[in-house]
Amino acid sequence: MKPIGKLLNVALSLIGVTVVWWLVATSGLISQELFPTPHAVFIAALELYEDGILFSDLAVSLGRAAVGFLIGASLGILVGLLTARTRLFAYALGPFLNLLRPIPAIALVPVAIVWFGIGEGSKYFVIAYTVFLAVWLNTHHGTAHVALTYIRAARSLGARRTREFFEVIIPAAAPHIVVGLRLGAALAFLSLVAAELSGASAGIGFRLQDARDYVRTDRMFVGLIELGILGALLDQFFVVVGNKLVHWEQM
């Protein structure tokens, strides 16, 4: 689809969903306390905006996601390259990391709070952990499975280990690394909310929890929509940047 067509598609789909939402909310079948109308949600968003909370929450959450993502992603790439290309790291870390994989971020929240307190540290830790695993796994896979002909061609063209690593292995693995980063960004959001649901005093996740205590479903919807929009924008960002970065392999 052309960009214009795509935009039109998104707009039409969202309008359609909003109309259905409005019809259901005003039908009288469900209490509007539990299922607010689009209009009520919009008013709630305006309220939060006027209180200065909307954007400060956004900034706090984005900041946490960004720091956690950067830590997790850099470690993930580094360790992925090492476990894929050096025997020592593969044997020493591979089995351990594979055991970590099934542990969800949310299960780590209590541990993180005990270790790092309820400050920013525990949030960074939970987010970085999730991002790390996704990026590590993809980096490792991409780096370990570089096509044999590339390696053979590089060596018979006289490339030594360093050049082979930087000019062949890393670019060959790059598409997988980008996929890992994209997945990591999505997971950063999931774990962000998990981390903010307990022991936070600002952020989108905190606001959701706070709204629950006052049964403000309209405010909850604002938080959910924020998460949706942010996540989608971030994903698009990774697609665009990824396609530029690994232009020879379109995502």
In the chain, which ranges are continuous DSSP H helix?
Answer: 3-26, 38-50, 53-85, 87-100, 105-116, 120-144, 148-156, 161-163, 170-197, 204-213, 217-245
What is the 3-state secondary structure of 30-95?
A: CCCCCCCCHHHHHHHHHHHHHCCHHHHHHHHHHHHHHHHHHHHHHHHHHHHHHHHHCHHHHHHHHH
Buried b (16+ CB within 10 A) or exposed e, 45-74: beebeeeebbeebeebbbebbebbbebbbe
Query: Which residue do the tokens 């920013």 mark?
Result: 120
155 touches other proteins by CB under 8 A: yes
Smaller CB separation from other proteins, 172 or 200: 172
CB of 217 within 8 A of CB of 33?
Answer: yes
CB of 145 to other proteins, least distance (A): 16
CB of 168 within 8 A of CB of 146?
Answer: yes
Out of 41, 45, 65, 246, point to the residue binding other proteins (CB under 8 A). Answer: 246
CB of 152 to other proteins, least distance (A): 6
Which stretch, 7-15, 124-132, 135-143, 166-174, contacts other proteins (CB under 8 A)? 166-174
Question: What would the x/- binding string for other proteins be over residues 173 to 192, using CB under 8 A?
Answer: -x------------------
Which stretch, 47-55, 61-69, 135-143, 240-248, contacts other proteins (CB under 8 A)? 240-248
165 touches other proteins by CB under 8 A: no
162 touches other proteins by CB under 8 A: no
CB of 229 to other proteins, least distance (A): 33
Out of 5, 114, 149, 213, point to the residue binding other proteins (CB under 8 A). Answer: 149
- Whole-number Å distance between alpha carbons of 231 and 153: 41
CB of 234 to other proteins, least distance (A): 25
Which stretch, 49-57, 105-113, 170-178, 183-191, contacts other proteins (CB under 8 A)? 170-178
Site residues for other proteins per CB under 8 A:
149-150, 152-159, 163, 167-168, 171-172, 174, 246-249
